[in-house]
Amino acid sequence: MTDANPTCREIERDLVAMAAGEAAPVAARVVERHVLRCRECRDELERYRVLEGMVTDLRREPVPGADPALSRAELESRLADIRARMVGYGIFSSPLGKILIARSELGISLVEYLESERAGTSYLARLAGGEVREDRAGVEMVYRELLEYLDRRRTRLDWPLDLRWAGSDFQRRVLAATAELPYGAVTSYAGIARRIGTPSAVRAVAQALRRNPVPIVIPCHRVIGNGGDLVGYAGNKISLKRTLLSVEGVPVAARARRIERDHMYVRAGADREYCVPTCGSLSRQSLAGLTLFGSRDHAESVGLTPCTSCRPDLHPVSV
Amino acid sequence: MVKGMTQDPFEAVVATHHAEIHRYLVRTTSRAGDADDLSQETFVRAYRAYQALPPDANVRAWLFAIATNLCRNYFRSEKRRRQAMAVAAANASERGPVWPEGEAIANQVGARLDRIVAALPLKQRLAFTLRKVHELEYEAIAESLQCSAESARAHVFQALKKIRRELHDLAVVHAEPQS
C-alpha cells in the first residue's frame, strides 16, 4: 500500500477495521473489491490479521511482573479501614423538626436536631473526617422506629450504638448511666453524677449530656435540674425536652419549665418498691437519690412493686 | 431492632474486577509497583462513589474510566512520563533486528508487542489497550478518555498503524490472487 495511491489511502482505515472484524458491511465490500486488484493492500490486510492474532494472544498472556494478589490484599485492608470509618446518614422530617440520623457499621452514631440541612451535613462531615455518604435506606428503619416512639406506639429503642463521638471515658460513663433510666422516669444531673460515683461532678455531667451524640436513644431528656427544672436540652430546646417527656407520660404542663415532684411516683435509691411522693421523708430528700416515675405503670414495668406502707396502688397520686 | 449492615456489595465488585484493572494498569504504566497503587486508588475512589452509581450502570466500564483517569493524571507529571519513555526506549533498543524464532516465539512476540505498545503516545496506548486487550466498546473507551467514540476509534487506528510499522518484518504467507 503506497500513500501515493489515493484509493489505497482512502480504504486504509476500513482495511484495518476489516482485519479486526469491525468494518461495516458496505466498507468491507469496498475493501474486498480493492484487495482483489491491489496485491500490496492484500498483503497489508493479511499483516493486520496477523497483528490481530498477536493482540488476541496478549489477552491470554500474563503481564510480566504483575501480581495482583498483594495489591488486592492491601486494597481489602484499606477498604475495611474506610468501611469502619464510613458513616451513612439520612435527613428526615419528624414531629421534632428536621432530624439527621447517622450510622456506621457498628451502630447508630449520631442523632442531630437540624437548624438547617447544610449545617447538619457539614457538622457530620467534620465529625467523620469526610467518610460520609447519604444512605437513607440504611437508617430508614431507625427513623420509622423513632416515629413509632414519638407516636407512643413504642417504648424501647434498642439500637446498637456506636459512641465513637462520645469524647471521653467520663462521657461514656455518663451516657451509660443515662441509658439505664427507664421510659417515663426522670432523675437529676446530680443523680447521674452520684450513680457513676462522682457525686460532685454535676456540671461535668451536664456538659457530657449536652454533647450527647445520640439524644432520644440515650435519653438525656430524662435528666433534669435538681429542683425539677427542665434545663439545658440540645442547647436551648427546652420545648423538645418537654415534648419528649410528655410523650413518655411524664406529667408536665404545656408551658411548664419544671416538673412537679408531687405529681410523680418515687423510687428511693435502688429500692424494689415505689412510693407516693409524700411517703416518709421522701419529699425532703434531694432528687439526686431518687428516680421519679410518670405513672404506676412506668414503675411497675421495670419490676417495682407498690410500697407496703404508703400503698400507691390504693392511694394514687392525684394530678 | 436495627439489622446489622448487610454484606457490602462492593466486595463482589473487587472480587470480579480487581485483577483485570490491575493488569490494565501494569500494561499502561509499565510499572508493577505503580499499578499496585493506582489499582488500589481506583477501587477506593469507586467505593466512595459506588452508592451514587445508577443500578443499571456498566460497573466494569466505569472502573476502567476511573483507572484511565488516574493513569492520565499519573502521566501528567512530566517527569514520570519522561522516565517511562526512557524505560520503554531502553526496552525497545534491546530487541534484536530480526523476528525471533523457535519455541519461545510466542512469549517473545508478546514481549515485543508489549514494548511497542508501551512506547505509544498515551491516548493511543490507553485506547489500544482498552479496545484490543480488554475489548471495551468504543463508547466506553470514549467515556474513559473523555472524547467522542469517533476519536476513540481513531486513537485505536493510529495505534494499530504505528504497531504495524514497528513490526515491519511481519511475515505474510502470500495467497495466490483469486482472479
Say what the ipTM of the complex is: 0.78
Query: Does the beta carbon of A66 lie under 8 angstroms from any beta carbon of chain B?
Result: yes
Render pLDDT for B10-35 as a digit per residue (tens, 0 to 9): 999 999 999 999 999 988 988 888 89
Of the given ranges (A2-11, A59-68, A256-265, B115-124), which has the lowest mean pLDDT? Answer: A2-11
Nearest-angstrom CA–CA distance, B18 and A71 = 9
Q: Which of residues 10-29 of B touch A (CB under 8 A)?
A: 10, 14, 18-19, 22-23, 26-27
| Beta-ladder partners of A266 | A275, A292
Which of B113, B128, B135 is closest to B160 using CA atoms?
B128
Residue B106 has a pLDDT of: 53
Residue A255: count of CB within 10 angstroms of its CB? 7
Q: Where are the alpha helices (DSSP H) in chain B?
A: 10-29, 32-50, 59-76, 78-94, 105-118, 122-128, 138-145, 149-166
B174 to each of A41, A48, A239, A300, how far by Cα in Å?
A: 12, 14, 93, 99
Query: Does the beta carbon of B178 lie under 8 angstroms from any beta carbon of chain A?
Result: yes
Nearest-angstrom CA–CA distance, A247 and A277 = 22
Q: Which one of B13, B172, B178 would you mutate to disrupt binding with A, by most A Cβ within 10 Å of its Cβ?
A: B172
Subunit contact A57:B106, Cβ cutoff 8 A: yes
Per DSSP bridges, beta strands A273-274 and A305-306 are: parallel
Nearest-angstrom CA–CA distance, B67 and B73 = 10
Residue B98 has a pLDDT of: 36
What's the full length of chain B, in residues?
A: 179
Which of A51, A54, A49, A47 is closest to A1 using CA atoms?
A47
Residue B61 has a pLDDT of: 96
Question: pLDDT at residue A257 above 50?
Answer: yes
Task: From chain B, pick out residues whose CB is under 8 angstroms from the CB of A23.
Answer: none
- Decide if A212 contacts A179 (C-beta within 8 A): no
CA distance to partner chain A, nearest, from residue B55 (Å): 15
CA distance to partner chain B, nearest, from residue A285 (Å): 38
Of the given ranges (A230-239, B44-53, B130-139), which has the lowest mean pLDDT? Answer: A230-239
CA angle A26, A29, A35 (to 5 degrees): 145
- Decide if A109 contacts A103 (C-beta within 8 A): yes
Nearest-angstrom CA–CA distance, B1 and A158 = 6
Render pLDDT for A87-136 as a digit per residue (tens, 0 to 9): 999 999 999 999 999 999 889 999 999 877 777 777 887 787 768 888 89
Nearest-angstrom CA–CA distance, B18 and B14 = 5
Residue A202 has a pLDDT of: 95
Nearest-angstrom CA–CA distance, A272 and A303 = 8
Handedness of CA B123, B124, B125, B130 (dihedral sign): positive
What's the full length of chain A, in residues?
A: 319
Nearest-angstrom CA–CA distance, B58 and B23 = 19
Handedness of CA A278, A280, A286, A287 (dihedral sign): negative
Residue B79 has a pLDDT of: 65
B76 to each of A23, A258, B79, B84, B149, how far by Cα in Å?
A: 34, 67, 9, 12, 23
- Chain B nearest-CA residue for A161: B2
Question: pLDDT at residue A195 above 70?
Answer: yes
Residue B92 has a pLDDT of: 59
Give residues with Cβ within 8 angstroms of A80, minimum separation 6.
Answer: none
Query: Does the beta carbon of A137 lie under 8 angstroms from any beta carbon of chain B?
Result: no
pLDDT category of residue A83 using cuts at 50, 70 and 90: confident
CA torsion, points A26, A27, A32, A33, in degrees to nearest 10? 80
Subunit contact A70:B135, Cβ cutoff 8 A: no
Query: And the C-alpha cell for A22?
Result: 469491525
- Chain B nearest-CA residue for A158: B1
Task: From chain A, pick out residues whose CB is under 8 angstroms from the CB of B18.
Answer: 68, 71-72, 75
Helix or strand run (H / E) with residue A117: helix A117-128
Subunit contact A54:B19, Cβ cutoff 8 A: no
Nearest-angstrom CA–CA distance, A139 and A134 = 10
Mean pLDDT of chain A: 89
Which of B68, B48, B64 is closest to A88 using CA atoms?
B48
Nearest-angstrom CA–CA distance, A306 and A273 = 5
Q: Which one of B22, B151, B165 would you mutate to disrupt binding with A, by most A Cβ within 10 Å of its Cβ?
A: B22
Q: Name the 3-class secondary structure at A279.
A: coil
Subunit contact B5:A71, Cβ cutoff 8 A: no
Subunit contact B36:A74, Cβ cutoff 8 A: yes
Of the given ranges (A281-295, B62-76, B102-116), which has the lowest mean pLDDT? Answer: B102-116
Residue B97 has a pLDDT of: 36
Q: Which one of B2, B107, B151 would you mutate to disrupt binding with A, by most A Cβ within 10 Å of its Cβ?
A: B2
Question: pLDDT at residue A280 above 70?
Answer: yes
Q: Name the 3-class secondary structure at A276.
A: coil
Nearest-angstrom CA–CA distance, A105 and A85 = 8
Render pLDDT for B120-148 as a digit per residue (tens, 0 to 9): 999 999 999 999 999 999 999 999 999 99
Categorise residue A249: left if φ over 0, alpha if ψ from -120 to 50, beta otherwise.
Answer: left
Subunit contact B161:A16, Cβ cutoff 8 A: yes
Nearest-angstrom CA–CA distance, A45 and A29 = 14
Q: Please give the backbone phi and psi of residue B110, each rounded to the nearest 5 degrees, phi first.
A: -60, -45
